[in-house]
Amino acid sequence: MGMEAILDVQICCSNTRLRTLALHKCTGTLLDMDWDHLRFFAALAQTGTLAGAARVLGVEHTTVARRIQALEQHMGCPLFVREASGHRLNAAGQQLWPVAQAMEQAVRGMEQLSMPQASAAAEVAGMVRVGVPEGLGVQLLAAPLAQLAQQYPKLSIDLLALPRLMHLSRREADIVISLERPKRGTVVVSKLADYHLYLYGERQYLARRPLVRSSEDLRHHQFIDYVDDLLFTKELQLLAQIYKPRQYVFRSTSIAAQYAAVRAGAGLAVLPAFLADKDPLLQRVLPDTATFEKTFWMSMPQESRTVPRIQVVWRFLKGMAKPLEERLQP
């Protein structure tokens, strides 16, 4: 059965408008389109770069560019915003995205019908991008997600452990773990875990400085923090709740860099307990008052609930919630 026939059976029966969908400011429709172009569209939407899409599809980046150009010519409008850092979906592209996902799901469904003996692992294929705060991603999620990928030979997981917020609306990730619960958009949200943060200093640094008995004593110390104008969430504006230094000895957008600076004896910083408590070089400062509790929230677009590869990773992360909560307790 050809690609268009698959879509006729799997997609059009559930939503007869898809094949004649008129996209934002576009003159063309999906009627008589080469459906294979959507594979390239989906790969570029997920990865954000021609090179990344080419890697996922196993083709040259020029092939991806040519297919996207052909699709945009057929639709009569651009589908991506071209930026120095890559490609992101524009309004028309965001409208087309659910169609591309439906196509992929339809193809998977037909593959399962034609291969009824196929294992569940063989049915889960493609790339899943997980956007996560840097500390959590590197310290606690990298190894488990790598092990999950090994269970599914055709599954590829991109862990985007970056010191910035990943946006579902821009298709920067399929699943996002954040410190702020999403309040807008049609998204599925689940609590992952609570965690604690404290004020820390390196032991030898603390031995050289006046003893800290109260927040007033912090005036004798140096401080390490985020770069405030580049802070990706207000949830991390914590140091100012204890003490507002006139200046900082070191600032960084990266929690890993702040942690390294504290270990080097440069000053005090608010750090996650799961990162700093296990380090024998570090010591909590004002542990009874300089303490914070935050929550990791997990979210994905509503339409991703029916995408097998995303569901596998989502269920895996939800299954990690309880053991992760236990590990994050100070």
Per-residue pLDDT, averaged over 87-106, amounts to: 83
Query: With contact defined as beta carbons under 8 Å apart, do 179 and 191 qualify?
Result: no
Q: What's CA 11's distance to the chain center, in Å?
A: 28
- Residue 228 pLDDT grade (very low, low, confident, very high; cuts 50, 70, 90): confident
Helix (H) / strand (E) element for 285: namely: strand 282-285
Per-residue pLDDT, averaged over 66-86, amounts to: 91
pLDDT surpassing 60 at residue 121? no
pTM: 0.67
- Greatest alpha-carbon pair distance for the chain in Å reads 77
Helix (H) / strand (E) element for 99: namely: helix 91-114
Read off the tokens for 173: 């990730």
pLDDT surpassing 60 at residue 2? no
Per-residue pLDDT, averaged over 161-170, amounts to: 72
Q: What is the DSSP-derived secondary structure letter of residue 236?
A: G
b/e for 167-190, b at 16 or more Cβ within 10 A? ebeebbbbbbbbbeebeeeebeee
Side-chain-side CA neighbours of 214 within 13 Å: the count stands at: 1
pLDDT surpassing 90 at residue 15? no
pLDDT surpassing 80 at residue 113? no
Domains in the chain, please, with CATH? 1-118 (1.10.10.10), 194-293 (3.40.190.10)
pLDDT in tens, 26-74: 766 666 677 788 889 988 988 888 988 887 777 788 989 999 999 999 8
Q: For residue 195, what are the β-bridge partners?
A: 294
Q: What residues contact 187, with CB distance under 8 A and at least 6 apart?
A: 168, 299, 300, 301, 302
Per-residue pLDDT, averaged over 174-183, amounts to: 88
Query: With contact defined as beta carbons under 8 Å apart, do 129 and 313 qualify?
Result: no
